[in-house]
């Protein structure tokens, strides 16, 4: 009871601020996650269809909205063009470059001679 008499004034108050939530970034991890480029590739295979000659602009518009919706799912906070710039930037990272090479090589005709 004695200890409570001074109302705990002498006790050192510890101010702890909760650490700020880390900022969400559009980095390689996010880009290589299931929602990222793998999903883009899968979707492109099934959903991206073009009409061809005479429909250049509508095809382009379809293509652009395809990318826009994918990016909106992946990284909803940034605008389309900003997000594109961010993705482009991550493309210079080693890991992503290796993945890109791999994806391209998958599409190449398999040659037996190496």
Query: Which residues in this chain contact other proteins in the complex, by CB under 8 A?
Result: 37, 40-41, 44-45, 48, 50, 52-53, 56-57, 59-61, 63-65, 67-69, 72-73, 76-82, 84-88, 91-92, 100, 103-104, 106-108
Separation of alpha carbons 61 and 26, rounded Å: 24
> What does the buried/exposed string (b/e) look like for 72-92 if buried means 16 or more CB atoms within 10 Å of the residue's CB?
eebbeebeeeebeebbeebee
Closest to other proteins by CB, 63 vs 95, is: 63
Closest to other proteins by CB, 10 vs 88, is: 88
């Amino acid at each position: 009871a004695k200890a409570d008499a001074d109302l705990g004034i002498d006790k050192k108050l510890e101010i702890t601020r909760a650490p700020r939530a880390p900022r969400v970034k559009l980095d390689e991890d996010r880009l290589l996650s299931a929602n990222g480029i793998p999903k883009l590739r899968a979707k492109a295979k099934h959903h991206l269809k073009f009409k061809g000659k005479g429909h250049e602009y509508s095809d382009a518009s379809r293509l652009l909205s395809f990318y826009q919706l994918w990016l909106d799912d992946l990284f909803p906070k940034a605008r389309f063009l900003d997000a594109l710039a961010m993705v482009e930037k991550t493309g210079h990272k080693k890991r992503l470059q290796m993945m890109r090479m791999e994806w391209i090589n998958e599409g190449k005709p398999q040659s037996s001679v190496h």
